[in-house]
């Protein structure tokens, strides 16, 4: 059973040794299906509206003391975007300044290969979610560090894999 209420408050929030709030986020992605139901090569990413409705971004939020980084990533994807999936290898870590509070945060971003899109999710009444091409997402994304994470994801997914044959 999934929880349909978002966590709130900061009493369990993690901070690094410099006092920066630790934030986790993900780039939900999938490969577009063709009319015949077959997977195409077209990569799509899911963006969500900000809570204040002023622009689009990828799901992100605080990493709390009672969860692993993967659990926090999955929780944010569920709460904000209503998707489930597989968390993959970290894209990187960025230091960024919060626009609302003017404090620095440490953001960790992960790819999330989406396996399920839910009809009901905790923040469905305050957020819009939209599947887009990478170019569209890069254009509308509010945060420079999320755009950098998107570039790393695209490079990772489109680079030829080394052949391990002997």
The span from the CA of 73 to the CA of 76, in Å, is 5
Kindly list the structural domains of the chain, giving each domain's residue range(s) and its CATH number in brackets, ordered by start: 21-158 (3.90.79.10)
CA–CA gap between residue 1 and residue 118 (Å, rounded) = 13
User: From first to last of its 166 residues, what are the pLDDT tens digits of the chain?
Assistant: 455 555 555 678 999 999 999 999 999 999 987 777 666 668 999 999 998 767 899 999 999 999 999 999 999 999 999 999 999 999 999 999 887 667 899 999 999 999 999 999 999 999 999 999 999 999 999 999 999 999 999 999 988 766 655 4
What is the pTM for the complete model shown?
A: 0.87
Q: CB-based burial of residue 59 (10 Å sphere; 0-12 exposed, 13-18 middle, 19+ buried)? A: buried
């Amino acid at each position: 059973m999934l929880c349909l209420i978002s966590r709130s408050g900061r009493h369990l929030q993690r901070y690094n040794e410099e006092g920066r709030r630790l934030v986790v986020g993900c780039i939900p992605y999938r490969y577009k299906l063709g009319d015949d139901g077959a997977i195409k090569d077209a990569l799509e990413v899911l963006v969500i509206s900000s809570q204040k409705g002023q622009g689009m971004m990828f799901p992100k939020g605080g990493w709390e003391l009672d969860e692993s980084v993967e659990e926090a990533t999955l929780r944010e994807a569920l709460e904000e975007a209503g998707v489930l999936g597989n968390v993959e290898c970290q894209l990187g870590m960025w230091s960024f300044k919060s626009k609302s509070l003017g404090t620095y945060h440490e953001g960790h971003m992960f790819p999330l290969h989406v396996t399920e899109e839910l009809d009901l999710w905790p923040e469905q009444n305050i957020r819009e979610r939209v599947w887009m091409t990478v170019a569209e997402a890069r254009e509308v994304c509010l945060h420079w560090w999320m755009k950098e994470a998107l570039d790393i994801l695209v490079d990772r997914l489109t680079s030829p894999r080394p052949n391990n044959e002997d």
